[in-house]
């Protein structure tokens, strides 16, 4: 098991890691639209937050040796159902492979965020090159 900690994504807001790699899986903790340099939400605009959220998730995945195409399960959190179409349109630009997804509409989030995302990624083991097959 390997804990992912990168300064290119926002620091964890509590006692947890940004992500965990275990075997062929990467689990990324819920990310908000926080600018990793300023430590603040990028703006009050849900579209800008959504874009930043996905970039934060992507950065953590990359640090663990994964990418957005490896995502098999995503959980999307929003506080206003009226924001769903905007969030969904931006999400669709990044997740062209269409992983399984859940949507949670909740009363509030840390840092007054309007959108958040956590993901699970899976990468198949690389096949061994030049493997000899012996038939008996």
Q: Is the pLDDT of residue 131 over 50?
A: no
Q: How confident is the model at residue 134 (pLDDT cuts 50, 70, 90)?
A: very low
114 token code pair: 């309007």
Handedness of CA 124, 57, 93, 109 (dihedral sign): positive
Handedness of CA 13, 32, 29, 79 (dihedral sign): positive
List, for residues 79-98, the tens digit of each pLDDT value: 999 999 999 999 999 999 99
For residue 124, give every residue at least 6 positions away whose Cβ sits within 8 Å of its Cβ, in sequence order, or none.
24
Q: Is the pLDDT of residue 129 over 60?
A: no
Topology at the third CATH level for domain 2-122: 60s Ribosomal Protein L30; Chain: A; (3.30.1330)
| Spatial contact of 76 and 51, defined as CB atoms under 8 Å apart | no
Which has the closest alpha carbon to 94: 71, 112, 68? 68
How confident is the model at residue 24, as a pLDDT?
96
Which has the closest alpha carbon to 55: 6, 102, 108, 122? 6
Show me where the domains of the chain are located: 2-122
List, for residues 16-68, the tens digit of each pLDDT value: 999 999 999 999 999 999 999 999 999 999 999 999 999 999 999 999 999 99
pTM above 0.85, yes or no: yes
């Amino acid at each position: 098991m390997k804990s992912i900690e990168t300064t290119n994504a926002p620091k964890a807001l509590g006692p947890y890691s940004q992500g965990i790699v275990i075997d062929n899986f990467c689990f990324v903790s819920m990310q908000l639209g926080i600018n990793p340099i300023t430590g603040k939400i990028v703006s009050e605009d849900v579209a800008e937050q959504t874009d930043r959220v996905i970039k934060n998730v992507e950065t953590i995945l990359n640090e663990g040796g994964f990418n957005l195409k490896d995502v098999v399960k995503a959980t999307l959190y929003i506080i206003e159902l009226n924001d769903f179409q905007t969030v969904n349109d931006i999400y669709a630009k990044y997740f062209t492979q269409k992983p399984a997804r859940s949507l949670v509409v909740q009363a509030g989030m840390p840092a007054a965020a309007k959108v958040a995302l956590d993901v699970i990624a899976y990468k198949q083991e690389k096949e061994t090159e030049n493997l000899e097959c012996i038939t008996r």
